Structure 1
Amino acid sequence: MPSVAIAIFPGVQALDVAGPFDVFAEANLFIDGNDRYEVTLLAADNAPLRASNGIRLVPDETFDDRHSTFDLALIAGGPALPEVAPDTRVTAWLANVASRCKRYGSICTGAFALGHAGLLDDRNVTTHWQHAQQLATQFPKARVDFDRIYLRDERLVTSAGVTAGIDLALALVTEDHGPQTALKVAKRLVVFSQRQGGQSQFSPYLTAPADETSPVAKVQTHVMANIQHNFSVKQLADVAGMSARNFARIFVQGTGVTPHEFVERARMDAARKLLESSDAALKAIAYDCGFGTADRMRIVFTRRIGATPAQYRERFRQA
């Protein structure tokens, strides 16, 4: 019987726990005898704990109770996990269990616990889009993918935010029991067995500049206010009052992206807002956001978020 451990802690995200747990439980309905999953909740002690939404969770065992090897060990995430000091009991258990598991990994911000346990170095990983940059900064040896819903790097598995734990668990069921079993589970849970596109569908591309009075911020404001126009580096440098060469260097230092990349991201965010909030034709949105044509907008959307503008509108259109 495959054994699955899910590590929990005070302030854990309840859906990070319940989502994968339900996938494995539902899978057991379609699996014979000894192949069924046995899922165990583990924590530092036996005391009941509160999830971030207030739900009371009771661990089945403590980290010290189980010394046998799990087939899969996962650490759930929690809203405060990226900011709080690491719990040494959690990180010690992760470091130990990872060396003895067939597969191990994290759901959502649980990746930070893996990082503190030294398990992300030289690995391809993902986490919630809101914390991906922080994970990359905090653990520079990790190769953080900002867009993936889940990732497998040899024995290590990681997922994006919250409900992506369901996607990860379904992928593991597919590995273990084939796509038909995973599809049956997905239908039972009324979710997609394989979600289209990445988590960039849910994340904004632009963030406010740290210094709103800087030349870089002035250029960003100019681009967003005139998003329907074409921009050359020379034109943007003139707005900043710099030479083109110096502007390009300063812009990358201040934003981490080239001027061209920023303009394309700005067009994407502007188009997404219109797709979500208006009934405007795709060709009109493409023109108003500077893509020029609907075909060009579709190419950029597909490359960046794995979905066409029409598909994006269908998923995120506001009532």
Structure 2
Amino acid sequence: MKTVAMVLFPDFLLLDMAGPMEVFSIANRYLEPKDHYRLVMVGTEPGMLRASNGVSVQTDLHLDQARDAYDLLLVPGGPGAYDVKLPALQRWLRDAVPRAGCYGSICTGAFILGHAGLLDGYRVTTHWHYTERLIRAFPNATVETDRIYLEDRNLITSGGITAGIDLALAVVARDHGKKLAQDVAKVLLVVMKRQGGQAQFSPLTAAVAPQETPVTRVQNHVLEHLDEAFSIERMAGLANMSTRHFARVFAREVKMTPMEFLQSARIDRARNLLETSDLPLKTVAYKSGFGSVRHMRFLFGEKLGLTPTQYREQFS
């Protein structure tokens, strides 16, 4: 029997906890009793802990009582994971993780592991909305921004919220085989392996900065005329800069090259049209500046891991 411990704290995200634990609970229906997962809730405070949505959960043990060597130790995310310092939990994790077979986080629970020094030297992921923040906070970790979940040695981390279900299914598949994980996924009405990564949910271009600069003027002009042809020379001309100087200034301010910005903006425009209209793919490609459906399909596959048709079916 393997023990899965989930560590709860005030303002945790309920689905980060419930999704993975439901996977292990349903897996138990198919397993012999000797192979069951034993599920344990460890709390930073004794008794009930309130989730960010107001629901309270009864924990099994307080940190001071949780001294077992757990097979899998998980930390959920939520506002309490990234808005509040939890020094007692960090100390407990630093002591508990070396005794655990595997440890990990769901969504923004990665911030708690990071503050405990448990992400350094590992490849990790988190919710797409928080990846830049995680990169800045923990430079000794390698943050991969487009993964649904990610295993690196004895650490397993997942993207946002429902990605905790993907993480748990991967653990079940590792422990008991793919067939059992598929059976659990069918009960939950989810797929074992999603098409694409987190990029399909997040905008590829950040909002243009509100202050007016030569670069933001170019960005806004490009966004207003995406159906036109653009080269770096044309964009540099709009900024009244040399091509080399413009490319350098643009990359510094926007954190991507001018052509990467153009490509990402076109993909975002196409995504919006696919989500909100029934326009033919040829029209979507033209309005987004791709020139052809073939080129749009190639870039969607490269950036999102989906074809435009798959994207429309999934999000419209």
Structure-2 separation of matches of 1:103 and 1:81? 20
SS in 1 for 2:215: helix
Once the two structures are TM-superposed, the CA of residue 186 in structure 1 deviates from its matched residue by 0.5
Structure-2 separation of matches of 1:144 and 1:244? 32
Match of 2:114 in 1: 115
Once the two structures are TM-superposed, the CA of residue 211 in structure 1 deviates from its matched residue by 4.2
Match of 1:11 in 2: 11
**Contact 1:212–1:218 (Cα < 8 Å) also in 2:** no
Correspondence 1:40-59 to 2 at 5 A: 40-59=40-59
Match of 1:128 in 2: 127
Q: Which runs of 5+ in 2 are unaligned?
A: none
SS in 1 for 2:156: strand
Match of 1:273 in 2: 272
Structure-2 separation of matches of 1:293 and 1:210? 31
Calculate the TM-score normalised by the size of structure 2: 0.98
SS in 2 for 1:99: helix
Shift in alpha-carbon separation, 1:245–1:294, aligned structure 2, 3 A? same
SS in 2 for 1:252: helix
> Is residue 103 of structure 2 the alignment partner of residue 104 of structure 1?
yes
Once the two structures are TM-superposed, the CA of residue 287 in structure 1 deviates from its matched residue by 1.4
Runs of 4+ deviating beyond 2 Å: 79-82, 209-212
**Contact 2:119–2:141 (Cα < 8 Å) also in 1:** yes
Letter in 1 for 2:36: R
SS in 1 for 2:297: helix
Match of 2:60 in 1: 60
Q: Deviations over 1:24-52 (max 9, x none)?
A: 00000111121110010111221312101
Once the two structures are TM-superposed, the CA of residue 286 in structure 1 deviates from its matched residue by 0.9
Once the two structures are TM-superposed, the CA of residue 301 in structure 1 deviates from its matched residue by 0.5
Once the two structures are TM-superposed, the CA of residue 209 in structure 1 deviates from its matched residue by 3.0
Matched positions, count: 316
Q: Which runs of 5+ in 1 are unaligned?
A: none
Q: Deviations over 1:137-165 (max 9, x none)?
A: 11111111111000000000000000000
SS in 1 for 2:251: helix
Letter in 2 for 1:177: H
Shift in alpha-carbon separation, 1:269–1:80, aligned structure 2, 3 A? farther
Calculate the TM-score normalised by the size of structure 1: 0.97
Percent of aligned pairs with the same residue? 47
Q: Deviations over 1:174-200 (max 9, x none)?
A: 000111000100011111111111011
Q: Deviations over 1:235-275 (max 9, x none)?
A: 10111111111110000100110001100100010000000
Supply the RMSD in Å over aligned alpha carbons.
1.0
Structure-2 separation of matches of 1:236 and 1:69? 59
Structure-1 separation of matches of 2:27 and 2:126? 25
Structure-1 separation of matches of 2:59 and 2:307? 43
Structure-1 separation of matches of 2:262 and 2:228? 10
